């Protein structure tokens, strides 16, 4: 985005320093900060014209989301927009192994107070946070079929099996061999050529922060 829109400035934030490898090659109009949304983003009110958050449904407990929405809206300028993209974490029309993994994944998140299905109420959540002209769309993404997009979605899903291994082993008491066998079967069901037309849903929601109300002059 910074490369495409050189006259705008962009700021990325994360709780940990994932940016270090990219700082040297980043455009001059792109900067990075380490921040925790729940502890307050380090920006004044009404700072950004556009605030975007992606794939963070697994990062916050269900009861924490109102704070997240409020903080994103706070740093957005009047007349600016907030957009969020997430997934409910479900694979649909998947094979038995991938479906079984899904169930264990949601059970693990539930132990942490995370309800990935809560994003189905996102339109109401954004309106409650003070946004107007709210739009919520569901976009189905093929996994393992449907061309380049399906191949990329399968790669992301399989990569998540690897990255989630440590927490899944501890939270669910699984053994290394058990986890490997389970994810190997699930992976086979997602590779090109599979008979399963698996897909996941991207939930896209955005809304506009209202302009300041016109002053009412009373004589």
> How do residues 142-169 score in pLDDT, each as one tens digit?
999 999 999 999 999 999 999 999 999 9
Q: In terms of residues, how long is the chain?
A: 219
- Tens digits of per-residue pLDDT, 110-135? 999 999 888 878 889 999 999 999 99
Q: What are residue 56's DSSP bridge partners?
A: none
Three-state helix/strand/coil letters over 145-177: CCCHHHHHHHHHHHHHHHHCHHHHHHHHCCCHH
- Tens digits of per-residue pLDDT, 26-85? 999 999 999 999 999 999 999 999 999 999 998 999 999 999 999 999 999 999 999 999
The answer, yes or no, to whether residue 8 has pLDDT greater than 60, is yes
| Surface-to-core class of residue 211, CB atoms within 10 Å of its CB (0-12 exposed, 13-18 middle, 19+ buried) | exposed
Instruction: Give residue 192's pLDDT.
Output: 82
CA atoms of 48 and 26, how far apart (whole Å) = 20
CA atoms of 95 and 91, how far apart (whole Å) = 9
For residue 206, which of 55, 47, 85 has the smallest C-alpha distance? 85
Instruction: Give residue 68's pLDDT.
Output: 96
Chain centre to alpha carbon of residue 146: 22
The answer, yes or no, to whether residue 172 has pLDDT greater than 60, is yes
What are the residue ranges spanned by the domains of the chain? 6-35, 36-209
The answer, yes or no, to whether residue 198 has pLDDT greater than 90, is yes
Query: Which residue has 């169930």 as its token pair?
Result: 103
**Looking at domain 36-209, does it have CATH number 3.90.120.10?**
no
Crossing angle of the two packed helices 148-163 and 176-188, in degrees rounded to 10: 170
- pTM for this model (two decimals): 0.88
The sheet with strand 132-142 has its strands ordered as 48-54, 76-87, 199-208, 132-142
- Asked if 72 and 37 touch (Cβ cutoff 8 Å), the reply is yes
Instruction: Give residue 20's pLDDT.
Output: 87
Q: What is the mean pLDDT of the chain?
A: 92
Q: What are residue 92's DSSP bridge partners?
A: 199
What average pLDDT score do residues 85-107 get?
A: 94
Crossing angle of the two packed helices 176-188 and 96-111, in degrees rounded to 10: 130
pLDDT band for position 216 (50/70/90)?
Answer: very low
The answer, yes or no, to whether residue 194 has pLDDT greater than 90, is no
């Amino acid at each position: 985005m910074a490369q495409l829109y050189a006259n705008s400035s962009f700021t990325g934030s994360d709780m940990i320093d994932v940016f270090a490898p990219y700082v040297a090659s980043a455009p001059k109009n792109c900067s990075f900060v380490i921040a925790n949304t729940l502890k307050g983003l380090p920006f004044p009110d009404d700072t950004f014209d556009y605030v975007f958050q992606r794939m963070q449904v697994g990062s916050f407990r269900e009861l924490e989301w109102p704070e997240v929405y409020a903080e994103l809206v706070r740093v957005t300028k009047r007349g600016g927009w907030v957009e969020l993209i997430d997934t409910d974490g479900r694979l649909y029309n998947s094979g038995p192994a991938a479906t079984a993994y899904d169930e264990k994944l949601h059970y693990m998140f539930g132990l942490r107070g995370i309800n990935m299905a809560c994003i189905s109420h996102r339109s109401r959540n954004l309106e409650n946070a003070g946004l107007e002209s709210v739009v919520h769309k569901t976009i189905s993404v093929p996994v393992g079929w449907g061309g380049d997009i399906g191949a990329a979605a399968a790669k992301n899903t399989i990569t998540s099996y690897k990255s989630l291994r440590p927490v899944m082993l501890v939270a669910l008491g699984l053994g290394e061999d058990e986890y490997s066998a389970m994810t190997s079967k699930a992976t086979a069901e997602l590779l090109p050529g599979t008979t399963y037309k698996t897909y996941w849903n991207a939930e896209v929601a955005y809304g506009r922060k209202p302009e300041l109300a016109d002053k009412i002059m009373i004589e």
